[in-house]
Structure 1
C-alpha cells in the first residue's frame, strides 16, 4: 500500500511539473489553447461528477471552469482585437452565467451548451494558428 501511495504521489508531482513546463515554454497562442482545453476538460469533469451524484466535485470543477473563463477574459486585447475581443468578452460572460445557473440547478444541458460554445471558440482559435503558420509567421 505504501508503494502505491508513493507512486501516486510521484505521478501527481510529475503531472504538475509537466504542466508547469508546458506553460513556461508555451507561446501566447499555446497558452490560450491550454486554457480553452482546460475549460472543456473541467466542464466535462463537472458533467461526469453530476452524473455520479458527486455534487461537491461538480461544484469544484465548475468553479475552476469559471476561473479559466476569467483568465481568458483577462487575456483579451480590446485595443488590437476590437469588435472580436468585445464579442468574446460577452460570450465568456454569458458562459460564466450559464455555468453558475447550471451549478445551482444541476443542469446537464447547460453544461453541454457551454462545452459546445467553447468548442466553437477553439475551432476558430485553432484556425488562427493554422492561418498564421500558412503565411510563414
Structure 2
C-alpha cells in the first residue's frame, strides 16, 4: 500500500547526502549532534526493551559520532573552547561505555543533557 520501505530508506539516504554536501561546517556539526541525540534515545529504548545487541550498535554509533566531533575541532582557532568541547566529548564517550556495560538509561540521560546544552550553543552561534 505504501510502497517498499527500502525505497524510502534510499530516498532518506539520498536526501541526507544532498543536505550534507550543501552544508557548512557549522551545519554539519548541528546535523551530527541531532543524529547523536536521536541515537541516544534509541539506545535508551533498546536497554528498556532488553534488545542488548541493538543497544550495543546504538552506543557504538554514538561513540563514533563523538569521536568525529572531537577530530573535527579546530584547536588553533577554537583555543580554550575547543579544548573544553574535546573534554566534554571524551567524558561523554566514557559515560557511554559505562552506560553500555551497566545498562544504565540514567547515564545515557546524563550524556543526552550535556549534548543538548552543547547543541543549544551551536544553534545559538548560527542565529
Q: Which of the five TM-score ranges fits, normalised by the shorter chain?
A: over 0.9
Partners of 2:8 and 2:111 lie apart in 1 by 31
Tell me, in whole angstroms, the C-alpha distance in 2 between the residues paired with 1:12 and 1:104: 31
Match of 2:52 in 1: 55
1:19 to 16, 21, 27: 16
Question: Would you say 1:36 and 2:33 are equivalent positions?
Answer: yes
* 3-state SS, counterpart of residue 95 of structure 2: helix
1:71 aligns with 2:76: no
**What residue ranges of structure 2 are gaps of 5+ in the alignment?**
none
User: Who is 1:8 aligned against?
Assistant: 5
2:97 matched to which residue of 1?
100
Number of aligned residues: 127
Q: Distance in 1 between matches of 2:33 and 2:49?
A: 25
CA RMSD of aligned residues (A): 1.1
CA distance in 2, matches of 1:114, 1:97: 10
Greater RCO (Cα-Cα under 8 Å, separation 6 or more): 2
Q: Secondary structure at the match of 2:50?
A: coil
Task: Give the number of the structure whose alpha-carbon radius of gyration is greater.
Answer: 1
Q: Report the Cα distance in structure 2 between the residues aligned to 1:104 and 1:80, rounded to whole angstroms.
A: 36
Q: Which residue of 2 aligns with 1:117?
A: 114
For residue 71 of structure 1, report the CA deviation from its aligned partner.
Answer: 0.7
